Chain A
């Protein structure tokens, strides 16, 4: 198929081999036999053979490198696609639909336990957001979430906190509290993160973000080296939300703690 390749580019070198040893009768040269190679020829041939071997190996390695490069390229692309997909799905989750795709939270279910007074008060207010405001609410949430994704944690915290103040009755308020906690956690503000996660857990116990928030409380305890509390909280995640991703992660962390002997 490769017309040019058909031409003998590099004729194979004849192979020179010494005759077998261990023969019973004294070997005698056959008439017309190929004369024994001189030592120089032997060395030359060995060098040639080695060179061909190396070339062959080099090509195999090149093939491997090219294939791996291609696979990495494909993985990068797949990763990017999968990130976009995750992002899309995450957003869908983060935006509880107006038709009530997410379990409704119970405003003021445990108001006495709310540590942050302002939001508790506002949460108890009748939560009738006019439809016209729904657009602004969504935009405000999107903006805060955008800041978080962009890694602008300070601004994201401010935006999420502002969102909770402005729309305390929004079904997205616990999400905002959760992400505010995440942003603080990323920045190492363990206490601030803890209080946000507690707001979610205690303020909206039926909210779908609660397992994650509880898990993160466990993580914070771990980071604070409060291992007893960490274990207790993580076990709570396992027991209360079996089969969830949070329970899975809690399990992993508990195992890690066992390995670390803490």
Chain B
């Protein structure tokens, strides 16, 4: 196996500042939205190597809950809250205004900001967030989280990270890479590179580790890798398929797909004992398990009814209950953290798009347009979905708001990008 080369890169201190920013460069709102809150994030005063206000504004716009104002359209660009002319902002039809500055501090930078209610002429909140140079963008995401929560009363999910697989080059020099980036696609870093396919990353609930499938031995096996130390471990290498790992909310188990007993079935792998417990029994293919947030069971895809649909089964096995009935095809389930919404890839208009089922009311809604959307993954706050899509032959990641109001593209330079997984909130 000398053709194979594997490079495990330690993600020390979140981001190595020296690492060149790779593919991601461009973020476009591809679909506007109605009924959003008008806000303006005024360019921050002080000196910073990143445009803090732009990062915050892009976060808020991507959520589908806000519409922002370009600096050129702003009536004024104050830095201190005392300088703000609320009348001017009301005339610019803004409900909220954010002003602030970046100051140097012991950690590197302090992002000091004021969220103001332009309608009432009052201050909603004011805070200071410290960040090192390497964490500066993450610091701005944290400010966006605070603003999001102060206005909507729901936690933000911007100061989070995402994992995904890229594929570049042509065989036999094709390279697969497991990457981790900020939730807006910036600061991508390769965690693992291989000439053989890597698939299905899944975050540990503490956000420290990733489980994934690698074919580096020319056979599928499941690995667990610590993002901070780079230490990796092969946890499942049964004969035949080892696939689709999903980390349990308790952190001590993985749901996996194994075909060691004949055809693909769902098993629960205990990470400490390495023992597996079979959950499904069917002559059909059962795969793509994802945990219910309370850990009581998993949702998975099965073609036991002829075509792929999603089912739920308890942690002790039993008869699976079918969850999806709309559309002839429902696969790749992702469950929101509150357990209420189920996102799937559903057949739509001759292609495949992301659909969200409200499991309480039974209503389902397409939140993407297709035609080749894949692998939806809920943000930890359940308000956004990350998925892979193909656009004009290009492979991209996209973020959709769950209400279907906004759709933002995280562009990648070249190659293919797939299997995105949205990481947990910082503990």
Contacts and interface: CB of A to CB of B under 8 A. Distances in A.
A80 B287 CA distance: 36
A4 B259 CA distance: 10
A121 B162 CA distance: 84
A4 B285 contact: yes
Residue with the greatest number of chain B CB neighbours at <10 A, chosen from A1, A7, A67: A1
Contact of A2 (B259, B306, B308): B308
A5 B287 contact: yes
Contact of B263 (A3, A10, A58, A67): A10
Contacts of A69: 322
Interface in B270-319: 283-285, 287-288, 301, 303-309
Contacts of B332: 1-2
Contact of A4 (B243, B307, B345): B243
Contact of A62 (B199, B288, B306, B362): B306
Interface residues of A, number: 20
Given A2-B285, A2-B308, A2-B331, A66 B322 contact: yes
B257 A63 contact: no
Given A9-B285, A62-B306, A3 B322 contact: no
Contacts of A59: 284, 303-306
Contacts of B304: 59, 62
A48 interface: no
Interface residues of B, number: 30
Contact of B325 (A1, A4, A70): A70
A139 interface: no
B244 interface: yes
A63 B305 contact: yes
Interface in A50-79: 55-56, 58-60, 62-63, 66-67, 69-70, 74
Nearest to A57: B306
Nearest to A9: B263
Chain B CB within 10 A, most for which of A4, A5, A62, A63 = A4
B305 A4 contact: no
22 contacts: A2-B287, A2-B331, A2-B332, A3-B199, A3-B243, A3-B244, A4-B244, A4-B257, A5-B285, A5-B303, A5-B308, A7-B241, A55-B283, A59-B284, A59-B304, A59-B306, A62-B306, A63-B306, A63-B307, A66-B305, A66-B322, A74-B362
Interface of A: 1-5, 7, 9-10, 55-56, 58-60, 62-63, 66-67, 69-70, 74
Interface of B: 199-200, 241, 243-244, 257, 259, 263-264, 283-285, 287-288, 301, 303-309, 322, 325, 331-332, 345, 352, 362, 374
